């Protein structure tokens, strides 16, 4: 049975000995890279600007008091109104002093552009009755679970953005794509949102014994338009199958110590896509 895990964001992601959804996806992408990052630990886990910005947006939108207390916006101008230009040595030194002061006060400095972006996204969401209700409603936020997969025994984890009414899981996502249904369908396919939903729903069911709904709150980072979407049951079933297959393969890799690719042990015959035969 799943158990609650009280931990910070950094503690959650540092515990790589417990398998998270993103680690499972890394294994699906490349067994070799998974082994380098999480088994041999010879390669650091990937961190990108987009990942960092996503975490900032999550904190601002879902944990606003924490956002206000922990993060400080870097100044974009001096007190006399002069624009700070990071390329200038004196200006750069001024920012470094500001960042040092943040560290000394146990705060994190945030670039003024990123800070404004986070605030603008939150303002857009709070401007809608439905999303404001979701964000202000009582419920678990940034809530972590740990459980064992029944078929493999692997220890798994998830960190839910928000849980409403006990059985509605809300997942905040940002994108640069349009947020209409057709676009969301493509995004969900490309980024495996159906597998994400299936993973989190498995943990929730193991914790409560109940079936939940999984709702994506998709926000465009440029226009701040947003939509609420739920992948259908057929997609969730596919996600469960794909996740289980990946976990079974992962368990075998741990047992054998063989992290070579799935198609490295035999010759696979393939055909060209159909459009290739229309190019004669």
What are the domain boundaries of the chain?
A: 1-44+129-266, 48-126
Residue 43 and residue 33 in contact, taking contact as beta carbons nearer than 8 Å: yes
Whole-angstrom distance, CA of residue 55 vs CA of residue 27: 22
pLDDT digits (tens, 9 = 90+) for 25-38: 999 999 999 999 99
Query: In terms of Cα–Cα distance, which of 237, 62, 262 is closest to 162?
Result: 62
Q: Is the per-residue pLDDT at 280 higher than 80? A: no
Q: Which of the four CATH numbers 3.40.50.720, 2.40.40.20, 3.90.320.10, 3.50.30.50 does domain 1-44+129-266 have?
A: 3.90.320.10
pLDDT band at 278 (very low <50, low <70, confident <90, very high): confident
Confidence category of residue 151, pLDDT binned at 50, 70, 90: very high
CA distance readout (Å), 13 to 4, 62, 179: 15, 18, 28
In this predicted model, what pLDDT tens digit does every residue of 40-98 receive, in sequence order?
A: 999 998 888 888 999 999 999 999 999 999 999 999 888 888 888 887 888 888 889 99
pLDDT digits (tens, 9 = 90+) for 166-175: 899 999 999 9
Closest CA to 142 of 213, 57, 77: 57
Q: Is residue 4 within 8 Å of 143, Cβ to Cβ?
A: yes
What percent of the chain has pLDDT above 90?
Answer: 83
pLDDT tens readout for residues 96-150: 999 999 999 999 999 999 999 999 999 999 999 999 999 999 999 999 999 999 9
CA angle 148, 152, 153 (to 5 degrees): 35
pLDDT score of 47:
83
Contact 145, 203 (CB under 8 A): yes
Strand order in the sheet with 155-164: 3-5, 139-148, 155-164, 168-175, 213-220, 226-229
Degrees, nearest 5: CA angle 234-242-25: 125
CA distances from 149 to 19, 66, 142, 155, 194 (A): 10, 33, 22, 6, 18
């Amino acid at each position: 049975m799943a158990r609650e895990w009280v931990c910070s964001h950094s503690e959650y992601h540092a515990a790589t000995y417990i398998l998270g959804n993103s680690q499972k996806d890394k294994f699906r992408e490349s067994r070799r890279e998974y082994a380098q990052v999480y088994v041999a630990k010879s390669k650091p886990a990937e961190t990108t600007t987009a990942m960092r910005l996503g975490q900032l947006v999550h904190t601002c939108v879902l944990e606003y008091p924490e956002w206000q207390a922990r993060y400080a916006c870097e100044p974009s101008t001096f007190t006399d109104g002069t624009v700070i230009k990071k390329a200038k040595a004196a200006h750069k030194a001024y920012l470094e002093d500001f960042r040092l002061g943040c560290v000394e006060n146990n705060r994190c400095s945030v670039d003024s552009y990123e800070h404004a972006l986070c605030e603008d996204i939150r303002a857009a969401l709070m401007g809608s009755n439905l999303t404001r209700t979701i964000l202000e409603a009582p419920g678990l936020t940034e809530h972590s679970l740990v459980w064992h997969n029944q078929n493999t025994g692997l220890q798994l984890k998830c960190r839910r953005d928000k849980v409403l009414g006990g059985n509605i899981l809300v997942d905040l996502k940002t994108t640069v794509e349009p947020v209409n249904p057709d676009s969301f369908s493509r995004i969900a396919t490309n980024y495996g949102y159906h597998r994400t939903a299936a993973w989190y729903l498995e943990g929730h069911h193991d914790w409560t014994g109940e079936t939940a709904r999984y709702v994506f709150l998709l926000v465009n980072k440029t226009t701040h338009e947003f939509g609420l979407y739920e992948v259908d049951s057929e997609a969730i079933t596919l996600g469960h199958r794909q996740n289980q297959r990946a976990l079974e393969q992962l368990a075998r890799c741990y047992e054998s110590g063989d992290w070579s690719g799935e198609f490295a042990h035999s010759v696979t015959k393939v055909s060209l896509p159909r459009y290739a035969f229309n190019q004669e």
